[in-house]
Structure 1
Amino acid sequence: MATYNGEKYIEEQINSILKQTKQIDELVICDDKSSDSTVQIIDSFNCDLIKLKINLENIGYVRNFEQAISMSSGDIIFLADQDDIWRIDKVSKMVTFMNSEKCDLLCSNFDLINQKDEIIEDKKKYNIPSFVIKEHREIITSISFSRLLLGNVVQGCTYCFTKNVRNKYLAINNQEVYHDWQLMLIAAYNEGVFFYNDNLIQYRLHSNNSIGFDNKKAKIELEIKKPKIVPTMVQFFRDFNKIQKLDLITKIRINIVFYLRIAYFIAKLHLPI
């Protein structure tokens, strides 16, 4: 878990993690130099399972999550946001599937809640990836590498993944691509990503989300940037290729998608993927 000024919701989230039907082995929390009472609330649990690191300076949530992942020692690692609520059987259900199937990363569906813990019934009002809100889905669905090249499809706070994926992610050492998309792509290249269609967390929408779902009524603006000589994602895959060789067809597809900025325009225009 990466925390920053999360005093309003952090206690409820930690309680939901510690009270799982399958007990966790550790809860690694990296705090990004909060200026509120977040750290004091975490300390008040006085729990041996909690491993807290407080940053001396603010490093941002991408590096902070990377730091927390690097400190994790388990065979199966879960990501957690500071302001959500886990369903009590989340760990049990996901670990059971991970242990019984060939799976490198498992993500789940979620409920949306507001600042008062009230369920937001209509997800379609928000810019949630179409993959998540698709109806009549099987309980388990694989997510292909090809689909993920166009953009991530599920929130990182629903993930769990293997130590092998963790080690590859840390070896790539990329600070420009969102950590959850990196983890997805690493696992998906070996056809090891699955979606569990059960609402195992309550994902909170509020004004201080680091990343969230905008209301669809919000104005869409295309941000025009000077393209890099080597697109960010192409560089990521070059680094990925150093630890796991990519086949030629995959390299060609990567160059087409990212030199033509296809994924960029899909994300900016909120097109379904």
Structure 2
Amino acid sequence: MITVCMATFNGEKYIEEQIISILSQLNDYDELIISDDGSTDSTVEIIKKIDDKRINLVFNKNDRGYSSNFYNAMSMATGDYIFLSDQDDIWLEDKVTITLKYLKSFDFVVSDAFVVDSNLNLLEESRFKTFNISNGFLPNFIRTRYIGCCMAFNRKVLDALYPFPEKKYNIPHDLWITLISEKYYKTSLIDNQLIKYRRHDNNVSNGGLTVKNNKRSFFQIIKSRIIYLYLLEKQKGKTKRKNKKW
């Protein structure tokens, strides 16, 4: 069974197109959990109008914010395989089939993507090539280029994520998933472009911290990495694999 976790907030412009691209690849017993973060536009109405039994629309009421909204969706996932989805991209027709093949051998995978503008005009042929993306713990600990909408993972990775980091640590959901997966589980990149990733002013993604040429930024980065190591060590007992080498 597949669970797709989507976080929404004022996404009326693209949400229907994205949901349709997802549902077309799911079986009747799969689920699409959509957690809405208090949209003030017609996002919720559009979702309800689709009226598909595989959609589980929930509301993030207790701890607002982009990553908290995703955590809310993931906490309700019942599937064996978890896919993450943004509200404004498009899944290509073979995304699920190809991803599931990889998840038979790996615990966590990240696919390539076509980068497009708001009107789906191609901006970058390969996000992997543009950002020179590689897997492994060390490069992603220093600065990850993974984005959540290209991720999928199995149930044991999801279980190892709990409890999610407290908001005070300011760790994006996709960074937390990356660190846990690359530290403790078997991971792989998928060289196929499996989504059209919209890049526009409203994008929210982690991208890691940017090193600026001043001491404050340097020490902020060092501090954040120390926090990451602390949280990973706390989480170690919840994982089902021994530490991987860096």
Asked if 1:26 is matched to 2:28, the reply is no
Structure 2: gaps (5+ residues): 1-5
Question: Which residue of structure 2 aligns with residue 131 of structure 1?
Answer: 133
Q: Distance in 2 between matches of 1:105 and 1:12?
A: 26
Asked if 1:163 is matched to 2:168, the reply is no
Question: What is the deviation of 1:185?
Answer: 1.5
Question: Which residue of structure 2 aligns with residue 260 of structure 1?
Answer: none
In structure 1, give the amino acid aligned to 2:188.
F
Give structure 1 regions of 4+ aligned residues with deviation exceeding 6 angstroms.
Answer: 246-250
Q: Give the secondary-structure state (helix, strand or coil) at the position aligned to 1:110.
A: strand
1:8-23 to 2 correspondences below 5 Å:
8-20=13-25
The answer to whether the 8 A contact 1:32-1:57 is kept is no
Higher strand share: 2
2:140 pairs with 148, 155, 169, which one? Answer: 148
Question: Which residue of structure 1 aligns with residue 236 of structure 2?
Answer: 244
The answer to whether the 8 A contact 1:205-1:212 is kept is no
Q: Give the secondary-structure state (helix, strand or coil) at the position aligned to 1:28.
A: strand
Distance 1:21 1:31, change over 3 A: closer
1:166-245 to 2 correspondences below 5 Å:
166-175=158-167, 176-211=170-205, 224=216, 227=219, 231-244=223-236
The answer to whether the 8 A contact 2:113-2:126 is kept is no
Q: Larger Cα Rg: Structure 1 or Structure 2? A: 1
In structure 1, give the amino acid aligned to 2:201.
S
Distance 1:38 1:191, change over 3 A: same
In structure 1, give the amino acid aligned to 2:112.
N
Q: Distance in 2 between matches of 1:165 and 1:156?
A: 14
Structure 1: gaps (5+ residues): 133-142, 214-219, 254-273
Alignment: residue pair count: 232
Distance 1:77 1:123, change over 3 A: closer
1:111 pairs with 95, 110, 114, which one? Answer: 114
In structure 1, give the amino acid aligned to 2:81.
I
| Identical aligned residues as a percent | 32
In structure 1, give the amino acid aligned to 2:193.
N
Question: What is the deviation of 1:27?
Answer: 0.3
Q: Distance in 2 between matches of 1:93 and 1:122?
A: 19
1:49-60 to 2 correspondences below 5 Å:
49-56=54-61, 59-60=64-65
The answer to whether the 8 A contact 2:113-2:194 is kept is yes
The answer to whether the 8 A contact 1:145-1:191 is kept is no
Q: Distance in 1 between matches of 2:85 and 2:191?
A: 18
Asked if 1:90 is matched to 2:95, the reply is yes
Question: Which residue of structure 2 aligns with residue 61 of structure 1?
Answer: 66
Question: Which residue of structure 1 aligns with residue 3 of structure 2?
Answer: none
Please tell me the root mean square deviation across aligned C-alpha atoms, in Å.
Answer: 3.1
